[in-house]
Amino acid sequence: MPLIFTNSASGSSHGYVRYMASTASWVLDGENLDFTQAVFDLENIKTGWCFIDAGVAPEWAMDASLEEPAARPSGEGWKRGFKVDIYSKAMFGDDTSVREWGTNSTGATMGIQALYAEYEEANKGSGKLPVVEFNGGTPTKVGKGSTNVPKLKILKFIDTPAELKGGASAPVAAAPTSKPDIIEDEF
């Protein structure tokens, strides 16, 4: 089922990473991050309604599941968004190798929709997670404004790293034959 973000509260047990659409770059703990590649836990992605206001933590009304969207909360400013855990010892370090990317920004939701569609097509229930590469942003006109949609590409699939096993685990099935190739190794 594709992710749907039509715009007509919970916290994370680990740190956060942000995609900055204005500059097509990433930020980690207030510092620029050279985001190259990481494992995205698309098996456990969450969607919902998000309200972001300057200087305060985002408010979330999460969907029951990808197939059961939550009712839009009352009030102005609520937009559809997502939360996904990202794993990379190389970028985040050993102690904080998992970071959450959660947002309702237009560019980011467009990028994650495209990535999720690629994941659904290639994964076919293998129970494996994608290693995703970031290749800058695509400037995109949206309404009266513009954004940079992150270019996210699946390089390969791997078994779920132990650090991401907190989510629902799916049984590992036979590897699909469609591209990208399923590669049996550690990230």
Residues 61-99: tens digit of each pLDDT: 999 999 999 999 999 999 999 999 999 999 998 888 999
Q: Is 126 helix (H, G, I), strand (E, B) or coil?
A: coil
| Total domains, the chain | 1
pLDDT band at 123 (very low <50, low <70, confident <90, very high): confident
The amino acid present at 45, given as its one-letter code, is I
Residue 182 domain-assigned?
no
The structure tokens listed for 180 are: 């990208």
- 48 falls within a domain: yes
Sole residue written with tokens 């992150």:
150
User: Is 39 a member of any domain?
Assistant: yes
Tell me the pTM: 0.82
- Mean pLDDT rounded to a whole number for the chain: 85
Distance CA 92, CA 6 (A): 32
- pLDDT grade for 183, boundaries at 50, 70 and 90: very low
Q: What is the pLDDT of residue 5?
A: 57
Q: Is residue 42 part of a domain?
A: yes
Asked whether residue 171 is assigned to any structural domain, the reply reads no
Query: Is residue 47, in this structure, part of any structural domain at all?
Result: yes
pLDDT for 1 equals 62
Q: Is residue 185 part of a domain?
A: no
Largest CA distance in the chain: 48
Examine residue 175 and state whether it is found in any structural domain, yes or no: no
Domain membership of residue 151 as a residue range: 17-164
What is residue 20's predicted lDDT score, i.e. its pLDDT?
96
Q: Which amino acid is at 99?
A: R
Residues 178, 183, 186, 187, CA torsion sign: negative
Nearest 10 degrees: Cα torsion 72, 73, 78, 82: -60
What is the rounded average pLDDT of the residues 176-187? 42
